Every structure is written in C-alpha cells, then in structure tokens.
C-alpha cells in the first residue's frame, strides 16, 4: 500500500484516523476486556466484521481479551461462517460491567440488541460504534466514538479501511471474512460501488478465492422459510400509491426474506410485518428503481417515523429497513401508507 494512496483516501474520508482514534480510547482506558456486540440474528457482515476487528485489535494490542456477543446468536448462514473461522459468538449476557470498551458493530440502534440494549445506558465504559447505517440519534448520544460511513455498503469494508489506515495486511482468513461480509451486504456485489470492487481486488490479492467464498453464502433455503415466503405472497395486499406498487403482508417469521421475495415477484415496495402479543416487527424492502426515482430512503423516511409511531425504533438502509415496536399491525400499515402518500405526492410517478 503506497502512502500516496492512503493520503488520497483520507482526504475524502470524514472518519479519518479511525484506527488511531480507536486505539486512543483503548490505550486511554488501558483496556483489558473488550466487548464486541453484533445485532440480533447476526448476519455475515456483522459476524465477519467482528471477527476482522478482533484480529486487528489483537494485533495492535496483544494483551487484550475479546468477547464477541450477539443477542439470540448468529443467523443460520452466519453459523456456517463461524465454523469455518473457528470463531465463537456468545448468546449469553456478556460481562457488561467488566468490559473496559464496548464496540457496537453493524448495529445502529439499541433496539437491535434486544434486552441487552438497556445495559448500554448504564455502563461507564466508552462505547465505540462502527457501522454503515445512518446513525440513530439515541445511539449517537451514548457513543464515545462513532465511526460510520453510510456511503459504504458494508461494515466489513469499513473494517478493511481500518486495516489500511493501520498499515496492516489482513491475513488470508481475515481477508476471506471481509470478502464474505461485503458479498453478503451487497447481495453478491449487485449493490457494490467502485470502492467495493477496489477492495475486493485487494482481498483477492491476499489469497481470497472469490468463487469458494460465494459458494459458502449460497445456503439452501429451509422449508420454514420457503413456506413463510409463499404465505406472504398469498396474504399480500396490493396497493398503488401514485403509480408505485406497494404491497403489505404478514408472516410469523422470516419477514425480511418474505419482503425480498415480494420485490422479486414484482412489487416496488414490500412491507411485511408480524404481530405477537402486541409486539410488532416489520421488514421493508424496495427495488432500486423506487429509491432512485423517489429518493425515499426506507431507513430514514419510513422505518424511523414508523418506529416512533409504534413507540419503538426503526432504521436501516435506502432500500432495506426494519422496525420494532408495540401496537397493532393494521394501524402500523395504515400509518406507513399515509407517510408514503405524503412523500410520494411530490415525487415523479412511475
């Protein structure tokens, strides 16, 4: 890595010296125990960025102990990855009070940490957030250091930039993990930007076999997920809002997968929820055309206000977002439709 390249990158990067700032916090606290938290049902981006981050921190400060934890553990596909890298993620309540530093990785709301979230209001140790989602104000409030880039498509790509800043070449397994996280969050690179491909080229130079890695991500869909997707199609309510095809549906689980399926079937925007004893969880997806033409950012413009409406939290990306809260699903859908009508009124029609 040439010095010139690094400088050019830093000029454009609003989080310059991210690794220096992280190490300053670590050294300042003389940290012994570092806790890395991933969101619920940790996806490959969360798991792989935690893995790479822990290797980087260990390299820079070998005497620290690192614990990676995720409430309810890792997703099914992430479990295959954990096995490959012989990595452990604890589902048990981590040692919040003993941790000297707490990282939140690929996680932008405390809601995504479930029951654990409330502990973060109480801890005295600094919290460092590394994420590629638009930061939630609540999270900003408790974070001692916020390293976020919502122009980057995965947390793994941010972690790679930290390796670069530190002038450290990731070992092959770390390069593989970074590749997996990037591939997953960009939907096998269909959402990748030029910067992602540049990083991928560097990772393959470090020995990553791209085809082998992509194969790892192609986990077969299990029967319950298939049924949830099909049920979501059967229960779907189709509406047109200023020409856009907006669909609503509900399933007991796999809301995100169901919403993706409805987009594949032909919806511009799919909103899929579940309601259990007044607890509501909603996943929403839009196609790229919807975002490009309307500029409606699902995380910011729809999930966030809907989260507030449900006395919970919502957030996410431009075309993929989620909401957790309480209430009833029918009024949540009505409220979502109202927001959309309001926002789409002045947008170009399809």
| CA distances from residue 191 to 51, 89, 308, 340 in whole angstroms, order as listed | 23, 28, 29, 24
Q: Which is nearer to Mn ion, 45 or 202 (CB)?
A: 45
**Binding span for Mn ion by CB under 5 A among 14-22, 28-36, 40-48, 313-321:** 40-48
3-state secondary structure 213-245: HHHHHCCCCCHHHHHHHHHHHHCCEEEEECCEE
Shortest reach from residue 11's CB to Mn ion, in Å: 25
- Is residue 185 a contact point for Mn ion (CB under 5 A)? yes
Q: Which stretch binds Mn ion (CB under 5 A): 111-119, 160-168, 182-190, 273-281?
A: 182-190
Q: Give least dist CB 321 to Mn ion, A.
A: 12
Q: How far is the CB of 312 from Mn ion (least distance, A)?
A: 20
Token duo for residue 269:
């925007």
- Strands of 207-319 (E only): list them: 237-241, 244-250, 269-276, 279-286, 313-316
- Segment holding 175, helix H or strand E: helix 172-185
Stretch that binds Mn ion, among 149-157, 208-216, 230-238, 316-324 (CB under 5 A): 149-157
- Find where tokens 């992430």 sit: 78
Question: What spatial distance separates the first Cα and last Cα of the chain, rounded to whole Å?
Answer: 46
Nearer to Mn ion, 182 or 323 (CB): 182
Indicate the helix (H) or strand (E) that contains 197: helix 194-205
DSSP state of 347: S
Pick out residues in 58-117 that bind Mn ion (CB under 5 A).
Answer: 106
Instruction: Locate 84 and state its tokens.
Output: 């490959």
The answer to whether 67 and 50 are in contact (CB under 8 A) is: no
> Minimum distance from CB of 332 to Mn ion (Å)?
25
How many residues at the interface with Mn ion, by CB under 5 A? Answer: 4
Using an 8 Å Cβ cutoff, are 126 and 147 in contact?
Answer: no
Residue 157 contacts Mn ion per CB under 5 A: no
Stretch that binds Mn ion, among 14-22, 41-49, 198-206, 246-254 (CB under 5 A): 41-49
Instruction: Select the residue whose beta carbon is closest to Mn ion and give its number.
Output: 45
Comparing CB distances to Mn ion, the nearer of 26 and 158 is: 158
DSSP letter at 72 equals: T
301 part of the interface to Mn ion, by CB under 5 A: no
**Residues 189 to 248: which contact Mn ion by CB under 5 A?**
none
Q: Of 154-162, 190-198, 307-315, 318-326, which part binds Mn ion (CB under 5 A)?
A: 154-162
Q: Per rule CB under 5 A, is residue 45 in the interface with Mn ion?
A: yes
Q: Collect all residues with Cβ–Cβ distance below 8 Å to 42 and sequence separation of at least 6.
A: 50, 70, 73, 74, 75, 78, 89, 106
Task: For the CB of residue 241, give the shortest distance to Mn ion in the complex, in Å.
Answer: 28
Nearest approach in angstroms of CB 314 to Mn ion is 16
> φ, ψ for residue 259 (rounded to 5)?
-65, -40
Residue closer to Mn ion, measured from CB, 132 or 250:
132
Q: How far is the CB of 72 from Mn ion (least distance, A)?
A: 17
- The structure tokens 């929820």 sit at 273
Q: How far is the CB of 302 from Mn ion (least distance, A)?
A: 19
Give the footprint of Mn ion on this chain (CB under 5 A): 45, 106, 155, 185
């Amino acid at each position: 890595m040439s010095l010139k390249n690094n400088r050019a990158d830093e000029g454009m990067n609003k989080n310059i010296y991210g690794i220096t700032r992280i190490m300053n916090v670590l050294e300042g606290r003389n940290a012994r125990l570092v806790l890395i938290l991933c969101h619920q049902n940790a996806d490959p981006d969360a798991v792989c960025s935690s893995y790479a981050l822990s290797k980087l921190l260990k390299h820079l400060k070998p005497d620290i102990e690192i614990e990676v934890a995720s409430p309810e553990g890792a997703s099914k596909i992430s479990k295959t990855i954990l096995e490959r890298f012989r990595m452990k993620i604890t589902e048990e309540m981590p040692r919040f009070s003993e941790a000297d530093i707490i990282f939140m990785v690929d996680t932008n709301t405390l809601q995504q940490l479930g029951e654990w979230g409330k502990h973060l209001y109480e801890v005295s140790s600094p919290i460092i957030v590394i994420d590629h989602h638009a930061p939630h104000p609540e999270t900003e409030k408790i974070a001692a250091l916020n390293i976020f880039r919502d122009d980057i498509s995965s947390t793994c790509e941010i972690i790679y930039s930290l390796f670069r800043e530190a002038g450290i070449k990731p070992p092959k397994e770390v390069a593989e993990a970074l590749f997996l996280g990037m591939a997953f969050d960009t939907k096998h690179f269909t959402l990748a930007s030029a910067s992602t491909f540049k990083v991928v080229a560097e990772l393959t130079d470090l020995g990553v076999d791209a085809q082998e890695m992509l194969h790892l991500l192609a986990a077969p869909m299990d029967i319950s997920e298939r049924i949830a997707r099909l049920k979501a199609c059967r229960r779907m309510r189709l509406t047109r809002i200023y020409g856009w095809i907006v669909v609503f549906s509900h399933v007991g689980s796999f809301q995100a997968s169901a919403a993706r399926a409805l987009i594949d079937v032909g919806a511009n925007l799919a909103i899929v929820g579940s309601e259990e004893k007044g607890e509501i969880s909603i996943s929403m997806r839009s196609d790229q055309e919807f975002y490009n033409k309307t500029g409606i950012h699902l995380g910011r413009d729809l999930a966030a206000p809907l989260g507030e409406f449900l006395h919970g939290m919502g957030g996410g990306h431009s075309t993929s977002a989620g909401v957790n809260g309480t209430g009833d699903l029918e009024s949540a859908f009505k409220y979502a439709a109202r927001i959309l009508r309001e926002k789409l009124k002045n947008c170009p029609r399809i």
